[in-house]
A and B are shown apart, each in its own frame.
Chain A
Amino acid sequence: MAELEAGTATGAARARPLSPHLSVYRLMLTFVMSGLHRISGAALYFGMLLVAWWLVAAASGPNAYANFEWFIGSWIGRLVLLGYTWALLHHMLGGIRHLIWDTIHGFEPAERELLALATIIGSVSLTLLLWIVGYLVMGGPR
């Protein structure tokens, strides 16, 4: 494999058949949702640092917790938390979509579109709903 690649590298830039790149495909909603599922998953991976900071700060004492509250209450902290909320809900709904597919259902073109649309509409509206509840009922993150 390495030898083959070394050979082609020196073998000049003469036109060779290429396998299709992502860019040749028309941008479809299902394609975007597939990408967003992976991106939101990767974001949540690092977002777990936020959960760890929150729990460790609570376990460490009032001062450490005040630092966390200061960060999460700042505009950048709220932005991160908003992004985390959306990523979590979007990844959850995208995951449910994948679980539906695992049962060999929902593969027809119209069903695929509907599931993709439900994922994004669902995640955005659930995020808004949760934040409105957070702000109105509980007074929001301070």
Chain B
Amino acid sequence: MTESQSMRTPARSVRGLGTARSGTGHFWHQRVTSVAAIPLTIGLLLIITALLGRSHAAVVQILGSPLVAIIMLLFVINTAYHMWIGMQEIVLDYVHEDKLKFLSLMANTFFVFTVGLACIFAVLKLSFGV
């Protein structure tokens, strides 16, 4: 904005000026999380398939076992970040009015943290809790 008086180089001033005030970092993070999502998604599908038709007690025992819990936690954390970036991209593509845009971006963050934390807490409780 005040480029004429600024001491910053053009490159420095452009960085961090994407529509969400961030640069290409999210593009790369989306690639990293998508690569991680492939084995984790297969893991989730295998876990769910193995749990089909089982009693609550059996489900609790299996979900609380270390290997399954670790896969579930990795899946939830990786997916949470991936879906946060993805929904932000969707909002930035379609919501152009500033007030609504920032409210949507905020809602995205709240949603991802809430859903993600609920999943993490549940898995940890299944592992450690009574």
Contacts and interface: CB of A to CB of B under 8 A. Distances in A.
Interface of A: 38, 41-42, 44-45, 48-49, 51-52, 55-56, 58-59, 61-62, 65-66, 85, 88, 92, 95-96, 98-99, 102, 130, 133-134, 138-142
A96 B41 CA distance: 13
A59 B126 contact: yes
Given A45-B83, A98-B34, A55 B119 contact: yes
A139 to B, nearest CB: 4
Given A49-B115, A55-B63, A95 B34 contact: yes
Given A45-B86, A99-B34, A140 B52 contact: yes
Contacts of A58: 56, 59-60, 63, 122, 126
A52 B83 contact: no
Contact of A48 (B115, B123, B126): B115
B53 A48 contact: no
Contact of A55 (B31, B41, B118): B118
B45 interface: yes
A96 B52 contact: no
A43 to B, nearest CB: 11
B119 A51 contact: yes
A95 B49 contact: no
A42 B90 contact: yes
B56 A66 contact: yes
B87 interface: yes
A56 B50 CA distance: 19
**Which of B31, B35, B80, B115 gathers most chain A CB within 10 Å?**
B115
B38 A65 contact: no
